Amino acid sequence: MTIRIDIISLFPEMFQALTEQGVVSRAFKNALVDVVYWNPREFALNAYKTIDDKSYGGGPGMVMMAAPLAGAIRAAKARQTDLGAAPHVIYMSPQGGKLTQNWVNQTLNTVQKSHKPQGLIIICGRYEAIDERLFELGLIDEELSAGDVVVSGGELPAMLMLDALLRCVDGVLNDEKSAQQDSFSDGLLDCPHYTRPEIFEDLSVPDVLLSGNHARIARFRREQQLRVTQSKRPDLIEAASKQGLLSVADNQFLRKIN
């Protein structure tokens, strides 16, 4: 199934870093994703292609005008509807809910496996803000933040979100289990990894990883997951415990290291 994505941006060329480079570019090159760009300037109402203006009431910065963005959103929605997708409009904003692996998993499930596939329309804002009336008109379904930080525009957060989402699509990674074993995939951080040589600057690979005993290796990696997560993100251990994601053996190991 092809994933429908429409991106509204003043700088669509920025997305070449995602669509032409790296692992995730396979999603675009292999037609797993159908992406179309909409520049709000194409929907400006004057000959100067104006898309921003001063904020009513004064203050610093410019505000993206409602009309060009509304035109771009409605055009993208019409395209997706014609292709049989249910459009879902996401505005990349520091005021939105945080991007998490759980969000990625739920969104991908909706995009790929719902009765009517969902298409994504991603708005990349610029300047101080976008006109609030776009929200009042119900043209935006969700606000999404890449973190508690402000950047110059929504393109970089959008690329971060799309990279996280598309690498989980079947056929993008060489080994589909890679995404399943990443940090946050089961609520915990990933375990440490090693590769050749066996000894580097007097440091050896743990013997258990060279043993060929798959059961011992699996348990060792699980314990290292728990150890790393407890050390770096104890909040994730607490959340996993509340969700019932920890086994009896997991809890025994945590008590031991504590």
The C-alpha atoms of residue 37 and residue 15 are separated, in whole angstroms, by: 10
- pLDDT at site 182: 61
Cβ within 8 Å of residue 246, ≥6 positions away: 237, 240, 254
- Catalytic residue (choose from 142, 143, 163, 182): 182
- pLDDT at site 79: 97
> What are the C-alpha distances in Å from 206 to residues 12, 42, 188, 203, 220?
46, 59, 21, 9, 10
The C-alpha atoms of residue 87 and residue 113 are separated, in whole angstroms, by: 15
> What are the C-alpha distances in Å from 167 to residues 142, 179, 200?
22, 7, 31
Q: Going from the first residue of the chain to its last (258 residues), give the mean pLDDT of each consecutive group of 10, the final group possibly shorter.
A: 94 97 95 96 97 96 97 98 95 97 93 81 97 98 96 97 95 68 76 95 97 97 96 95 96 96
Please confirm, yes or no, whether 53 is among the known catalytic residues.
no
Cβ–Cβ under 8 Å, residues 93 and 155: no
- pLDDT at site 229: 95
pTM assigned to the model: 0.88
- pLDDT at site 120: 98
Of 173, 160, 171, whose CA–CA distance to 31 is shortest?
Answer: 171
- pLDDT at site 113: 72
> Strands, DSSP E only, in the chain?
3-8, 33-38, 52-54, 62-64, 86-98, 118-124, 129-130, 142-145, 199-200, 203-204
CB-hemisphere CA count at 13 Å for 253?
Answer: 18
The C-alpha atoms of residue 77 and residue 141 are separated, in whole angstroms, by: 12
> What are the C-alpha distances in Å from 186 to residues 82, 183, 241, 248?
37, 8, 12, 16
- Catalytic residue (choose from 12, 34, 94, 219): 94
CB-hemisphere CA count at 13 Å for 77?
Answer: 14
Q: What is the CATH number of domain 183-257?
A: 1.10.1270.20
Cβ within 8 Å of residue 186, ≥6 positions away: 240, 245
- Catalytic residue (choose from 4, 79, 126, 167): 167
Q: Where are the domains of the chain?
A: 3-166, 183-257
Three-class secondary structure of residue 156 per DSSP: helix
- pLDDT at site 112: 82
Of 30, 32, 36, 29, whose CA–CA distance to 12 is shortest?
Answer: 36
Please confirm, yes or no, whether 186 is among the known catalytic residues.
no
Please confirm, yes or no, whether 117 is among the known catalytic residues.
no
Q: What is the CATH number of domain 3-166?
A: 3.40.1280.10
- pLDDT at site 187: 87
- Catalytic residue (choose from 128, 143, 186, 190): 128
Please confirm, yes or no, whether 182 is among the known catalytic residues.
yes
Longest dimension (CA), the chain: 71
Of 165, 164, 217, whose CA–CA distance to 191 is shortest?
Answer: 217
